[in-house]
């Protein structure tokens, strides 16, 4: 049985993963160890994921970005998934989730693990649903043993964190029924679990047999990402009784996981108006004992289809500044289609912009230093340094190369009337070149 990062931290041990994360974050390893032991930081690191460069998520660390990839029943191309993985990594993703529901799921997941140096997450109920329906049975015919069998297999394979919808239980569904939502449940895994409960008139096995789940996660040091099955799918449903009831349940399950030395992240909304984002973060942190918070977006409008990655970045920046620790990206194809490699790249980049903006708002010195370095490079009209400092050098270089100015120092926006150069030449003539 593997020793979990939380177990080691509570025993006073600074693991190799903690050393690596502390170095990456510019943090004292002992301070990080304390935060891991308290559950305020999670380091998703399954020992079976051999090529992993660990990342930490939580209090005092930079805001991280996750990229979802994966096949569907309509589109299952293993080669394209590797292209999407590479696009996510090139764009700077801190974690990747394989959400495949088409093709050979285990083989697909193995190729992601073999080629991914950052933490890999999954939603095990997707595979369980695919396997059951391939036997001409319905999702509601899935047994608890089948679901837990998939979870254990994925843990053994090397998955670092799993989304499990333990909070979708009978009590929450009763609250949902009386809420009168427009969109009801938009979480795919949440809908699977809700339909199973309603059809079988039994309690959610992930909730009823939560200790069995904890045993698997503790044995393989898999971090639990407690899923937000009741996340709002439209602004009108945000921050309602059903969502908060589930969040209260997740807070209780967080404490039970920590008692078993299992690391936890809490997933959050979803579609949320700008004026409710800070409240959502404060509620999660209070109800879930300051566990790391992993948000999808939040998307701040329902009508940005084709540009939902922008709506996501707006909400993500505000959420990160308010205390969210982990942003799940959205691509331009959200609500429309399965994303391709370029969609993945664009989704990661715009979400990294949001994460970086949040880090600056929180006073993170390393992030502020990067912006100051860019400001100096612009003042010096040092184009090579400017391009290297960009969050997305590939796109920045392409734009400049496609619109070269007559004079190398400037750009085609202002040309010879460049304000920066004029001020340099007349206000700081000592900096004038040539």
Q: What is the pLDDT of residues 232-283, one digit of tens each?
A: 999 999 999 999 999 999 999 999 999 999 999 999 999 999 999 999 999 9
161-164 vs 120-122, strand pairing mode: parallel
Is 97 marked as binding a ligand? yes
- For residues 135 and 183, the answer to whether their CB atoms sit within 8 Å is no
Q: How far apart are CA 149 and CA 4, in angstroms?
A: 21
Q: Which two tokens stand for residue 387?
A: 């391009």
% of the chain residues with pLDDT over 90: 97
Residue with tokens 């009337």: 417
Is 265 marked as binding a ligand? no
At 1 the pLDDT is: 67
Is 24 marked as binding a ligand? no
Q: How far apart are CA 347 and CA 330, in angstroms?
A: 6
Residues 6 or more apart whose Cβ sits within 8 Å of residue 32: 14, 18, 21, 22, 25, 41, 56, 60
Residue with tokens 């393989």: 220
Is 229 marked as binding a ligand? yes
Is 109 marked as binding a ligand? no
Is 234 marked as binding a ligand? no
At 431 the pLDDT is: 75
Q: What is the pLDDT of residues 187-242, one digit of tens each?
A: 999 999 999 999 999 999 999 999 999 999 999 999 999 999 999 999 999 999 99
Q: Which two tokens stand for residue 153?
A: 């297999």
pTM value? 0.96
E strands present in 261-324: 264-268, 293-296
Quick one: how many helices (H) and strands (E) in the chain? 19, 10
pLDDT of 106 over the 70 cut: yes
Q: In 3D, which of 328, 236, 249 has the Cα closest to residue 276?
A: 236
Q: How far apart are CA 116 and CA 110, in angstroms?
A: 10
- For residues 261 and 5, the answer to whether their CB atoms sit within 8 Å is no
Where are the chain's structural domains? 42-363, 366-431
SS3 for 62? coil
At 142 the pLDDT is: 98
Q: How far apart are CA 337 and CA 288, in angstroms?
A: 34
Is 414 marked as binding a ligand? yes
What is the 8-class DSSP label of residue 63? P
Q: In 3D, which of 151, 158, 111 has the Cα closest to residue 131?
A: 151
- For residues 188 and 227, the answer to whether their CB atoms sit within 8 Å is no
For domain 42-363, give the fold. TIM Barrel (3.20.20)
Q: Which two tokens stand for residue 181?
A: 């939502």
Backbone dihedral angles phi then psi of residue 194, each to the nearest 5 degrees: -65, -45
Is 188 marked as binding a ligand? yes
Range list of H helices, 51-102: 78-91
**CA distances from residue 212 to 39, 148, 219, 415 in whole angstroms, order as listed:** 20, 8, 11, 66
At 46 the pLDDT is: 98
Is 345 marked as binding a ligand? no
Q: What is the pLDDT of residues 45-94, one digit of tens each?
A: 999 999 999 999 999 999 999 999 999 999 999 999 999 999 999 999 99
Angle between helices 105-115 and 78-91 (to 10 degrees): 30
**CA distances from residue 346 to 86, 87, 232, 358 in whole angstroms, order as listed:** 13, 9, 24, 19
pLDDT of 434 over the 60 cut: no
At 429 the pLDDT is: 83
Is 72 marked as binding a ligand? no
Mean of all residue pLDDT scores within the chain = 97
Is 231 marked as binding a ligand? yes
Angle between helices 419-427 and 365-379 (to 10 degrees): 80
What is the 8-class DSSP label of residue 237? G
Is 220 marked as binding a ligand? no
Q: In 3D, which of 346, 265, 264 has the Cα closest to residue 84?
A: 346
């Amino acid at each position: 049985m593997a020793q979990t990062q939380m177990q080691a931290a509570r025993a006073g041990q600074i693991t190799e993963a903690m050393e690596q994360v502390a170095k990456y974050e510019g943090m004292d390893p002992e301070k990080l160890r304390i935060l891991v032991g308290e559950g305020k930081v999670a380091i998703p690191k399954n020992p079976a994921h051999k090529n992993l460069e660990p990342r930490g998520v939580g209090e005092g660390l930079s805001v991280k970005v996750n990229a979802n990839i994966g096949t569907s029943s309509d589109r299952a191309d293993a080669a394209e998934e590797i292209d999407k993985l590479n696009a996510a990594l090139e764009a700077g993703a801190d974690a990747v989730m394989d959400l495949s529901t088409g093709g050979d799921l285990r083989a697909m997941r193995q190729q992601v693990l073999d080629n991914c140096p950052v933490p890999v997450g999954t939603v095990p109920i997707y595979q369980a649903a695919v396997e059951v329906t391939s036997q001409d049975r319905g999702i509601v015919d899935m047994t608890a043993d089948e679901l837990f069998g998939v979870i254990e297999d994925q843990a053994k394979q090397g998955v670092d964190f799993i989304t499990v919808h333990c909070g979708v239980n009978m009590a929450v569904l009763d609250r949902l029924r009386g809420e009168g939502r427009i969109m009801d449940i938009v979480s795919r895994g949440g809908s699977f679990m809700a339909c199973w409960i309603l059809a079988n008139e039994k309690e959610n096995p992930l909730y009823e047999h939560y200790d069995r789940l904890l045993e698997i996660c503790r044995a393989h040091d898999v971090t639990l990402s407690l899923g937000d099955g009741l996340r709002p799918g439209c602004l009108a449903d945000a921050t309602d009784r059903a969502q908060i009831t589930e969040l209260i349940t997740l807070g209780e399950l967080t404490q039970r996981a920590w008692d078993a030395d299992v690391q936890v992240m809490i997933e959050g909304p979803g579609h949320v108006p700008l004026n409710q984002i800070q409240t959502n973060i404060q509620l999660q942190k209070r109800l879930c004992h300051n566990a790391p918070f992993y948000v999808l977006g939040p998307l701040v409008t329902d009508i940005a289809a084709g540009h939902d990655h922008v709506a996501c970045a707006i909400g993500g920046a505000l959420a990160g500044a308010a205390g969210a620790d982990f942003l799940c990206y959205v691509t331009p194809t959200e609500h429309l289609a399965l994303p391709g490699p370029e969609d993945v790249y664009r989704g990661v980049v715009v979400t990294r912009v949001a994460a970086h903006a949040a880090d600056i708002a929180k006073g993170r010195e390393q992030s502020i230093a990067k912006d100051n370095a860019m400001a100096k490079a612009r003042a010096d009209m040092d184009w090579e340094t400017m391009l290297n400092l960009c969050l997305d050098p590939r796109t920045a270089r392409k734009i400049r190369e496609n619109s070269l100015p007559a004079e190398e120092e400037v750009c085609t926006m202002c040309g010879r009337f460049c304000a920066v150069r004029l001020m340099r030449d007349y206000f700081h003539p000592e900096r004038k070149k040539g």
